[in-house]
Structure 1
Amino acid sequence: MRNLKPYLILSLLMAFLSVSCERDDICPGSTPTTPRVVIDLYDFENQESSKNVFGLLAAGIENEFILSGYNIITTNQLVLPLKTDDNTTQYVLIEDTSINDNGTPNDSSDDFYNGNSDVITINYSREEVYVSRACGYKTIFKNVTITIEDDGDNWIQSQQPLNPNQSVEDETTAHFNIYH
Protein backbone atom coordinates (compact mmCIF):
# COMPACT_ATOMS: atom_id res chain seq x y z
CA MET A 1 0.00 0.00 0.00
CA ARG A 2 2.87 2.36 0.76
CA ASN A 3 4.29 1.79 -2.68
CA LEU A 4 0.97 2.74 -4.27
CA LYS A 5 0.57 5.99 -2.36
CA PRO A 6 3.09 8.06 -4.47
CA TYR A 7 1.56 6.71 -7.69
CA LEU A 8 -1.94 7.49 -6.48
CA ILE A 9 -0.96 11.05 -5.50
CA LEU A 10 0.82 11.56 -8.83
CA SER A 11 -2.21 10.22 -10.75
CA LEU A 12 -4.60 12.50 -8.86
CA LEU A 13 -2.32 15.49 -9.43
CA MET A 14 -2.14 14.76 -13.18
CA ALA A 15 -5.91 14.36 -13.39
CA PHE A 16 -6.45 17.64 -11.55
CA LEU A 17 -4.03 19.52 -13.82
CA SER A 18 -5.53 18.15 -17.03
CA VAL A 19 -9.08 19.07 -15.96
CA SER A 20 -8.13 22.60 -14.92
CA CYS A 21 -6.44 23.49 -18.23
CA GLU A 22 -8.33 25.77 -20.60
CA ARG A 23 -8.21 25.44 -24.34
CA ASP A 24 -6.59 28.33 -26.16
CA ASP A 25 -8.89 31.28 -26.78
CA ILE A 26 -8.31 31.81 -30.47
CA CYS A 27 -10.98 33.44 -32.57
CA PRO A 28 -11.64 31.14 -35.56
CA GLY A 29 -11.35 32.80 -38.97
CA SER A 30 -14.84 31.55 -39.80
CA THR A 31 -16.43 33.60 -37.01
CA PRO A 32 -18.36 36.58 -38.40
CA THR A 33 -16.82 39.85 -37.26
CA THR A 34 -17.72 43.48 -38.03
CA PRO A 35 -19.55 43.33 -41.38
CA ARG A 36 -19.08 45.54 -44.42
CA VAL A 37 -21.95 47.04 -46.42
CA VAL A 38 -22.72 45.05 -49.59
CA ILE A 39 -23.95 47.05 -52.60
CA ASP A 40 -25.08 45.42 -55.84
CA LEU A 41 -24.79 47.45 -59.05
CA TYR A 42 -27.65 47.47 -61.57
CA ASP A 43 -28.52 49.02 -64.92
CA PHE A 44 -30.56 52.21 -64.48
CA GLU A 45 -32.44 51.57 -67.75
CA ASN A 46 -33.21 47.91 -66.94
CA GLN A 47 -33.32 47.72 -63.14
CA GLU A 48 -33.57 43.93 -63.04
CA SER A 49 -30.23 43.58 -64.86
CA SER A 50 -26.92 43.52 -63.01
CA LYS A 51 -24.39 45.89 -64.62
CA ASN A 52 -20.61 46.12 -64.32
CA VAL A 53 -18.78 49.35 -63.61
CA PHE A 54 -15.61 49.53 -65.68
CA GLY A 55 -12.40 51.11 -64.41
CA LEU A 56 -13.79 51.58 -60.88
CA LEU A 57 -11.63 53.10 -58.18
CA ALA A 58 -12.91 53.49 -54.61
CA ALA A 59 -11.18 55.71 -52.06
CA GLY A 60 -12.00 57.04 -48.63
CA ILE A 61 -12.74 60.76 -48.50
CA GLU A 62 -11.00 61.64 -45.25
CA ASN A 63 -7.97 59.38 -45.57
CA GLU A 64 -7.63 59.45 -49.37
CA PHE A 65 -6.44 55.84 -49.39
CA ILE A 66 -7.52 53.67 -52.29
CA LEU A 67 -9.62 50.86 -50.89
CA SER A 68 -7.83 47.53 -51.13
CA GLY A 69 -9.19 45.57 -54.09
CA TYR A 70 -10.77 48.63 -55.73
CA ASN A 71 -7.88 50.13 -57.71
CA ILE A 72 -9.26 50.38 -61.27
CA ILE A 73 -11.34 47.21 -61.47
CA THR A 74 -14.45 45.95 -63.23
CA THR A 75 -17.19 44.80 -60.86
CA ASN A 76 -20.94 44.60 -60.30
CA GLN A 77 -20.74 44.57 -56.50
CA LEU A 78 -19.13 46.73 -53.82
CA VAL A 79 -18.23 45.48 -50.35
CA LEU A 80 -17.25 48.58 -48.36
CA PRO A 81 -16.06 48.79 -44.75
CA LEU A 82 -17.76 51.27 -42.43
CA LYS A 83 -16.06 53.26 -39.68
CA THR A 84 -16.58 51.78 -36.24
CA ASP A 85 -15.66 55.01 -34.44
CA ASP A 86 -18.01 57.35 -36.32
CA ASN A 87 -21.59 57.33 -37.62
CA THR A 88 -20.64 58.42 -41.15
CA THR A 89 -18.34 56.99 -43.82
CA GLN A 90 -17.70 58.65 -47.19
CA TYR A 91 -16.25 57.21 -50.37
CA VAL A 92 -15.42 58.64 -53.74
CA LEU A 93 -16.26 56.13 -56.50
CA ILE A 94 -14.60 56.91 -59.82
CA GLU A 95 -15.93 55.30 -63.01
CA ASP A 96 -13.75 54.86 -66.14
CA THR A 97 -10.64 55.67 -64.12
CA SER A 98 -7.33 56.34 -65.82
CA ILE A 99 -4.04 57.57 -64.43
CA ASN A 100 -2.74 60.91 -65.72
CA ASP A 101 1.04 61.01 -65.28
CA ASN A 102 1.04 64.82 -65.58
CA GLY A 103 3.62 64.65 -68.38
CA THR A 104 6.20 62.94 -66.15
CA PRO A 105 5.94 59.19 -66.75
CA ASN A 106 8.93 58.40 -64.51
CA ASP A 107 7.63 60.42 -61.54
CA SER A 108 4.53 58.94 -59.92
CA SER A 109 4.45 61.57 -57.15
CA ASP A 110 2.51 64.01 -59.35
CA ASP A 111 0.12 61.46 -60.91
CA PHE A 112 -3.62 61.90 -60.52
CA TYR A 113 -6.77 60.02 -61.52
CA ASN A 114 -9.13 60.99 -64.32
CA GLY A 115 -12.70 59.73 -64.53
CA ASN A 116 -16.24 60.47 -63.48
CA SER A 117 -16.23 60.64 -59.68
CA ASP A 118 -19.26 60.43 -57.41
CA VAL A 119 -19.23 60.81 -53.64
CA ILE A 120 -21.44 58.58 -51.53
CA THR A 121 -22.11 59.24 -47.85
CA ILE A 122 -23.17 56.33 -45.68
CA ASN A 123 -24.87 57.25 -42.39
CA TYR A 124 -25.72 54.77 -39.63
CA SER A 125 -25.93 54.15 -35.91
CA ARG A 126 -23.54 51.67 -34.30
CA GLU A 127 -24.14 48.87 -31.85
CA GLU A 128 -21.48 46.67 -30.27
CA VAL A 129 -22.43 43.00 -29.99
CA TYR A 130 -20.55 40.42 -27.92
CA VAL A 131 -19.27 37.56 -30.09
CA SER A 132 -17.21 35.41 -27.71
CA ARG A 133 -14.40 35.56 -25.21
CA ALA A 134 -11.87 34.80 -27.93
CA CYS A 135 -13.31 37.17 -30.54
CA GLY A 136 -14.51 39.97 -28.29
CA TYR A 137 -17.05 42.39 -29.75
CA LYS A 138 -18.14 43.26 -33.26
CA THR A 139 -19.97 46.35 -34.46
CA ILE A 140 -23.25 46.10 -36.33
CA PHE A 141 -24.82 49.05 -38.10
CA LYS A 142 -28.48 50.11 -37.82
CA ASN A 143 -30.63 52.57 -39.80
CA VAL A 144 -28.11 52.65 -42.65
CA THR A 145 -28.71 55.19 -45.41
CA ILE A 146 -26.73 56.13 -48.52
CA THR A 147 -26.73 59.61 -50.02
CA ILE A 148 -25.28 60.39 -53.45
CA GLU A 149 -23.86 63.90 -53.69
CA ASP A 150 -25.14 65.67 -56.81
CA ASP A 151 -22.25 67.07 -58.83
CA GLY A 152 -24.19 67.66 -62.06
CA ASP A 153 -22.47 64.73 -63.80
CA ASN A 154 -23.32 61.70 -61.68
CA TRP A 155 -22.75 58.23 -63.10
CA ILE A 156 -24.70 56.85 -60.11
CA GLN A 157 -28.33 57.63 -60.87
CA SER A 158 -30.05 56.30 -57.74
CA GLN A 159 -29.80 53.90 -54.83
CA GLN A 160 -32.28 51.73 -52.99
CA PRO A 161 -32.04 49.95 -49.63
CA LEU A 162 -33.24 46.36 -49.78
CA ASN A 163 -35.12 46.69 -46.47
CA PRO A 164 -36.78 49.56 -44.63
CA ASN A 165 -34.59 50.68 -41.71
CA GLN A 166 -31.70 48.82 -43.36
CA SER A 167 -29.19 47.26 -41.00
CA VAL A 168 -25.80 45.71 -41.72
CA GLU A 169 -25.31 42.68 -39.49
CA ASP A 170 -23.56 40.32 -41.91
CA GLU A 171 -22.17 40.09 -45.45
CA THR A 172 -24.30 37.19 -46.69
CA THR A 173 -26.64 39.29 -48.87
CA ALA A 174 -26.72 42.74 -50.43
CA HIS A 175 -27.92 45.67 -48.35
CA PHE A 176 -28.35 48.26 -51.14
CA ASN A 177 -28.72 48.45 -54.90
CA ILE A 178 -27.07 51.24 -56.87
CA TYR A 179 -28.39 52.01 -60.36
CA HIS A 180 -26.09 53.46 -63.01
Structure 2
Amino acid sequence: MRKRNLSLLLIALLTIGYFSCERDDICPGSTPTTPRIIIKFLDANDEESTKIVSNLVVIGVDESFNLPNPINVGNEHILPEYNLPVNVDNPTRIDSVFLPLRTDLDKTQYILISQAGINDNGTAEDASDDYISGNYDTITLDYSREEVFVSRACGYKTIFKNVILSLEDSDPDMWIQSRKTLTDNQSVEDETASHFALSH
Protein backbone atom coordinates (compact mmCIF):
# COMPACT_ATOMS: atom_id res chain seq x y z
CA MET A 1 0.00 0.00 0.00
CA ARG A 2 2.82 2.35 0.89
CA LYS A 3 4.58 1.67 -2.45
CA ARG A 4 1.35 2.39 -4.29
CA ASN A 5 0.93 5.71 -2.47
CA LEU A 6 4.52 6.67 -3.30
CA SER A 7 3.94 5.78 -6.95
CA LEU A 8 0.77 7.88 -7.06
CA LEU A 9 2.56 10.77 -5.36
CA LEU A 10 5.42 10.57 -7.88
CA ILE A 11 3.00 10.52 -10.82
CA ALA A 12 1.14 13.50 -9.35
CA LEU A 13 4.36 15.49 -8.92
CA LEU A 14 5.51 14.72 -12.45
CA THR A 15 2.10 15.73 -13.84
CA ILE A 16 2.12 19.00 -11.91
CA GLY A 17 5.69 19.71 -13.03
CA TYR A 18 4.81 19.04 -16.65
CA PHE A 19 1.72 21.23 -16.72
CA SER A 20 3.22 24.02 -14.62
CA CYS A 21 5.68 24.97 -17.39
CA GLU A 22 4.52 28.28 -18.72
CA ARG A 23 4.36 29.01 -22.40
CA ASP A 24 7.26 31.45 -22.14
CA ASP A 25 9.54 28.77 -20.64
CA ILE A 26 10.29 27.67 -24.20
CA CYS A 27 12.15 30.03 -26.52
CA PRO A 28 10.37 29.93 -29.91
CA GLY A 29 12.60 29.42 -32.93
CA SER A 30 11.09 32.57 -34.46
CA THR A 31 12.39 34.78 -31.63
CA PRO A 32 15.17 37.07 -32.87
CA THR A 33 18.49 36.23 -31.24
CA THR A 34 21.98 37.70 -31.71
CA PRO A 35 21.94 38.96 -35.31
CA ARG A 36 24.50 38.27 -37.99
CA ILE A 37 25.87 41.08 -40.12
CA ILE A 38 24.54 41.10 -43.68
CA ILE A 39 26.97 42.15 -46.39
CA LYS A 40 25.83 42.38 -49.98
CA PHE A 41 27.99 42.48 -53.07
CA LEU A 42 27.67 45.30 -55.58
CA ASP A 43 29.03 45.95 -59.05
CA ALA A 44 32.00 48.33 -58.80
CA ASN A 45 30.98 49.86 -62.14
CA ASP A 46 27.34 50.36 -61.09
CA GLU A 47 26.86 50.46 -57.32
CA GLU A 48 23.08 50.36 -57.71
CA SER A 49 23.35 46.79 -59.02
CA THR A 50 24.21 43.63 -57.14
CA LYS A 51 27.01 41.48 -58.50
CA ILE A 52 27.35 37.75 -57.93
CA VAL A 53 30.44 36.23 -56.33
CA SER A 54 31.20 32.73 -57.53
CA ASN A 55 32.53 30.00 -55.24
CA LEU A 56 32.96 32.23 -52.20
CA VAL A 57 34.73 30.64 -49.23
CA VAL A 58 34.63 32.46 -45.88
CA ILE A 59 37.15 31.82 -43.13
CA GLY A 60 36.89 33.18 -39.59
CA VAL A 61 40.12 34.47 -38.12
CA ASP A 62 40.79 34.42 -34.38
CA GLU A 63 43.77 34.76 -32.08
CA SER A 64 44.54 31.03 -32.35
CA PHE A 65 44.53 31.12 -36.15
CA ASN A 66 47.78 32.00 -37.86
CA LEU A 67 46.92 32.37 -41.52
CA PRO A 68 48.70 29.68 -43.49
CA ASN A 69 49.26 30.53 -47.07
CA PRO A 70 47.64 28.76 -48.74
CA ILE A 71 44.76 27.45 -46.59
CA ASN A 72 44.17 23.71 -46.48
CA VAL A 73 40.83 22.47 -47.74
CA GLY A 74 39.86 20.94 -44.38
CA ASN A 75 40.66 24.04 -42.29
CA GLU A 76 38.39 24.14 -39.21
CA HIS A 77 37.93 27.93 -39.46
CA ILE A 78 35.99 27.70 -42.74
CA LEU A 79 32.33 28.64 -42.23
CA PRO A 80 30.29 25.55 -43.22
CA GLU A 81 27.68 27.57 -45.14
CA TYR A 82 30.43 29.26 -47.19
CA ASN A 83 32.62 26.31 -48.02
CA LEU A 84 33.65 24.85 -51.35
CA PRO A 85 30.80 23.21 -53.26
CA VAL A 86 30.84 19.44 -53.63
CA ASN A 87 30.70 19.87 -57.39
CA VAL A 88 33.29 22.50 -58.33
CA ASP A 89 32.05 22.39 -61.96
CA ASN A 90 28.71 23.75 -60.72
CA PRO A 91 29.82 26.89 -58.83
CA THR A 92 27.89 28.50 -56.02
CA ARG A 93 26.72 32.01 -56.84
CA ILE A 94 25.75 34.43 -54.10
CA ASP A 95 25.06 38.16 -53.86
CA SER A 96 25.26 38.51 -50.06
CA VAL A 97 26.60 36.85 -46.94
CA PHE A 98 25.30 36.53 -43.36
CA LEU A 99 28.28 36.51 -41.00
CA PRO A 100 28.24 36.06 -37.21
CA LEU A 101 30.10 38.61 -35.11
CA ARG A 102 32.05 37.60 -32.04
CA THR A 103 30.23 38.28 -28.78
CA ASP A 104 33.36 37.89 -26.62
CA LEU A 105 35.42 40.59 -28.39
CA ASP A 106 34.84 43.97 -30.04
CA LYS A 107 36.40 42.76 -33.29
CA THR A 108 35.75 40.05 -35.87
CA GLN A 109 37.92 39.27 -38.87
CA TYR A 110 37.13 37.22 -41.97
CA ILE A 111 39.01 36.10 -45.05
CA LEU A 112 36.80 36.11 -48.16
CA ILE A 113 38.08 33.98 -51.03
CA SER A 114 36.43 34.58 -54.39
CA GLN A 115 36.62 32.14 -57.31
CA ALA A 116 37.74 29.51 -54.81
CA GLY A 117 38.74 26.08 -56.00
CA ILE A 118 40.71 23.06 -54.86
CA ASN A 119 44.34 22.76 -55.89
CA ASP A 120 45.56 19.19 -55.40
CA ASN A 121 49.20 20.38 -55.20
CA GLY A 122 50.13 18.02 -58.03
CA THR A 123 49.16 14.93 -56.04
CA ALA A 124 45.63 13.99 -57.10
CA GLU A 125 45.76 10.76 -55.08
CA ASP A 126 46.70 12.53 -51.81
CA ALA A 127 44.00 14.88 -50.47
CA SER A 128 45.99 15.77 -47.34
CA ASP A 129 47.99 18.47 -49.15
CA ASP A 130 45.03 19.98 -51.07
CA TYR A 131 44.59 23.73 -50.56
CA ILE A 132 42.12 26.44 -51.51
CA SER A 133 43.05 28.48 -54.54
CA GLY A 134 41.44 31.81 -55.34
CA ASN A 135 41.73 35.49 -54.49
CA TYR A 136 42.05 36.09 -50.71
CA ASP A 137 40.84 39.40 -49.19
CA THR A 138 40.53 40.19 -45.47
CA ILE A 139 37.81 42.29 -43.85
CA THR A 140 37.83 43.51 -40.24
CA LEU A 141 34.73 44.50 -38.28
CA ASP A 142 35.15 46.66 -35.17
CA TYR A 143 32.18 47.45 -32.92
CA SER A 144 30.87 47.86 -29.39
CA ARG A 145 28.57 45.25 -27.84
CA GLU A 146 25.36 45.64 -25.88
CA GLU A 147 23.40 42.83 -24.22
CA VAL A 148 19.62 43.11 -24.51
CA PHE A 149 17.14 41.03 -22.51
CA VAL A 150 14.84 39.07 -24.84
CA SER A 151 12.70 37.00 -22.44
CA ARG A 152 12.98 34.64 -19.50
CA ALA A 153 13.08 31.65 -21.83
CA CYS A 154 15.39 33.15 -24.46
CA GLY A 155 17.70 35.06 -22.14
CA TYR A 156 19.86 37.80 -23.66
CA LYS A 157 21.02 38.62 -27.14
CA THR A 158 23.91 40.82 -28.23
CA ILE A 159 23.47 43.79 -30.53
CA PHE A 160 26.40 45.55 -32.14
CA LYS A 161 26.81 49.33 -32.23
CA ASN A 162 29.16 51.67 -34.09
CA VAL A 163 30.17 48.94 -36.51
CA ILE A 164 33.07 49.78 -38.80
CA LEU A 165 34.06 47.53 -41.69
CA SER A 166 37.58 47.99 -43.01
CA LEU A 167 39.55 46.30 -45.76
CA GLU A 168 43.10 45.11 -45.38
CA ASP A 169 44.56 46.78 -48.42
CA SER A 170 48.13 45.52 -48.30
CA ASP A 171 47.26 43.01 -51.02
CA PRO A 172 48.00 44.43 -54.51
CA ASP A 173 45.53 41.97 -56.09
CA MET A 174 42.36 42.72 -54.09
CA TRP A 175 39.08 41.56 -55.62
CA ILE A 176 37.09 43.81 -53.26
CA GLN A 177 37.44 47.36 -54.56
CA SER A 178 35.47 49.38 -52.02
CA ARG A 179 33.04 49.20 -49.11
CA LYS A 180 30.18 51.32 -47.85
CA THR A 181 27.73 51.30 -44.98
CA LEU A 182 24.03 50.84 -45.68
CA THR A 183 22.71 51.78 -42.24
CA ASP A 184 22.65 55.28 -40.79
CA ASN A 185 23.94 54.52 -37.31
CA GLN A 186 26.08 51.56 -38.35
CA SER A 187 24.43 49.16 -35.93
CA VAL A 188 23.54 45.49 -36.28
CA GLU A 189 20.34 44.83 -34.34
CA ASP A 190 18.43 42.50 -36.66
CA GLU A 191 18.65 40.61 -39.93
CA THR A 192 15.96 42.45 -41.85
CA ALA A 193 18.23 44.44 -44.19
CA SER A 194 21.82 44.57 -45.40
CA HIS A 195 24.27 46.47 -43.20
CA PHE A 196 27.26 46.90 -45.51
CA ALA A 197 28.11 46.51 -49.18
CA LEU A 198 31.34 45.40 -50.83
CA SER A 199 31.92 46.38 -54.46
CA HIS A 200 33.90 44.20 -56.83
- TM-score tier by shorter-chain length is 0.7 to 0.9
Corresponding position of 1:21? 20
Identify unmatched segments of 5+ residues in structure 1: 1-16
Letter of the 1:38 partner, please give it: I
Q: Please tell me whether residue 132 in structure 1 is matched to residue 113 in structure 2.
A: no
1:158 to 172, 178, 182: 178
* Corresponding residue SS for 1:69: helix
Q: CA deviation at 1:65?
A: 1.2
How many Å separate the matches in 1 of 2:99 and 2:131?
23
Letter of the 1:31 partner, please give it: T
Name the TM-score, length of structure 2 as normaliser: 0.77
1:66 to 75, 78, 96: 78
Identify unmatched segments of 5+ residues in structure 2: 1-15, 66-75, 85-91
Letter of the 1:21 partner, please give it: S
How many Å separate the matches in 2 of 1:38 and 1:167?
11
Greater CA deviation, 97-106 or 62-71?
62-71
RMSD (Å) for aligned C-alpha atoms: 1.7
How many Å separate the matches in 2 of 1:37 and 1:168?
6
Matches within 5 A, 1:14-53: 21-23=20-22, 25-53=25-53
Q: CA deviation at 1:108?
A: 2.0
How many Å separate the matches in 2 of 1:22 and 1:49?
50
Residues 6-58 of structure 1: per-residue CA shift (max 9 Å, x gap): xxxxxxxxxxx79x934251100000000000011100001111100011111
* Corresponding residue SS for 1:66: coil
Q: CA deviation at 1:165?
A: 3.1
* Corresponding residue SS for 1:47: strand
Greater CA deviation, 79-88 or 106-115?
106-115
How many Å separate the matches in 2 of 1:21 and 1:93?
49
Q: CA deviation at 1:155?
A: 0.5
Corresponding position of 2:198? 178
Q: CA deviation at 1:102?
A: 1.3
* Corresponding residue SS for 1:91: strand
Percent identity for Structure 1 against Structure 2 = 55
Q: Please tell me whether residue 77 in structure 1 is matched to residue 89 in structure 2.
A: no
Letter of the 1:171 partner, please give it: E
Name the TM-score, length of structure 1 as normaliser: 0.85
Letter of the 1:161 partner, please give it: T
May I ask how many residue pairs the two structures share in their alignment? 163
Q: Please tell me whether residue 145 in structure 1 is matched to residue 144 in structure 2.
A: no
Letter of the 2:124 partner, please give it: P
